[in-house]
Amino acid sequence: MTRLRDRRILVTGAASGIGRATVQRLAAEGARVVATDVSPVELDDPGVETAVLDVADEESVVAGVSAAVARLGGLDVLVNAAGILEAAHTHETSLELWNRVLAVNLTGTFLVTREALPALIESGRGVVVNFSSTSASFAHPYMAAYAASKGGIAALTHSLALEYSKRGVRVVSVAPGSVKSGITDNADSWIPEGVDFSLFGKLLPILPTDLTTPVGNPVGRPEAVAGVVAMLASDDGEFITGTEIRVDGGTHA
């Protein structure tokens, strides 16, 4: 399938998990991709160039987006996949933790989108795919900062979709849940002490899967999310904007 063969795409958070799978899927469908992350991205797929970009640092974003647009000769699609999760009992959550999570997830999405919009408008068929989360709409224990950041991304998506609808830009968010990612791979490191694990029972998929997190919870393949992103980036998603697509194996059916 080569439905993205003439698309120029920038992806953040591309070093691992869903971001990495997304880059590989977009490239496999013919896109030219600049894959970025705060850490070096190790990918040698045809059509993929890599760069370091810290979405929480405005100077890095301004320079990184400009460089990516120059390397690609323009920009048709932006995929904001960069994100972090730090969990804590809310009454023990420090302001530093709260600000750090929002700086990467919400402010980072805003900064990269802001810098990319002129090129996306010039493209005439620009697409922004943001990464929200099922935590934006459904209770996730110990993740207040993360959930707030993802809820903000959902709201930002709606606002941008309307504001730029007459300028040829579509804006959509995907809301993964129960999907293998860099975050779930490190689940045993961010789950705080003294949690009630029975509360996590609400976060399990209903579709069968052989994958699990380090703490034993079942998860789906990141490629499942990557396929949705590829559809949204292509002409197959031409009439989709201002909404969220939940990819969670029926966790919240």
pLDDT of res. 29: 98
pLDDT at 215 exceeding the cut of 90: no
Tell me whether residue 252 is in a domain.
no
Q: Please write the tens of the pLDDT for every residue from 51-68.
A: 999 999 999 999 999 999
* Confidence at 1, pLDDT banded by 50, 70, 90: confident
Q: Mind giving me the DSSP string for 173-224?
A: EEEE-SB--HHHHTHHHHSPTT--GGGGGGG--SS--SEE-TTS-EEB-HHH
pLDDT at 147 exceeding the cut of 90: yes
* Confidence at 187, pLDDT banded by 50, 70, 90: confident
Residues sharing a CB contact under 8 Å with residue 185, sequence separation 6 or more, in sequence order: 16, 17, 213, 214
The Cα 30–Cα 18 span in angstroms is: 19
Amino acid at 67: A
Amino acid at 92: E
Q: What is the pTM of this model?
A: 0.97
The Cα 131–Cα 239 span in angstroms is: 19
* Confidence at 166, pLDDT banded by 50, 70, 90: very high
How many residues are there in the chain?
A: 253
Per the listing, tokens 């690609």 go with: 72
DSSP class of residue 247 equals E
Q: Please write the tens of the pLDDT for every residue from 5-36.
A: 999 999 999 999 999 999 999 999 999 999 99
Q: What residues make up the domain containing 180?
A: 8-247
DSSP class of residue 231 equals H
Overall number of domains in the chain? 1
Cβ–Cβ < 8 Å for 146, 187: no
pLDDT at 186 exceeding the cut of 90: no
Q: Please write the tens of the pLDDT for every residue from 171-185.
A: 999 999 999 998 898
CATH of the domain at 229: 3.40.50.720
| Residue 197 structure tokens | 């694990």
Tell me whether residue 179 is in a domain.
yes
C-alpha distances out from residue 101 to 108, 148, 149, 218, Å:
10, 9, 7, 25
Tell me whether residue 30 is in a domain.
yes
Cβ–Cβ < 8 Å for 210, 219: no
Tell me whether residue 219 is in a domain.
yes
Annotated catalytic residues are: 146
* Confidence at 109, pLDDT banded by 50, 70, 90: very high
At residue 52, φ and ψ (nearest 5 deg) are -90, 130
C-alpha distances out from residue 50 to 108, 119, 189, 244, Å:
18, 19, 28, 28
Determine how β-strand 8-12 pairs with β-strand 32-37: parallel
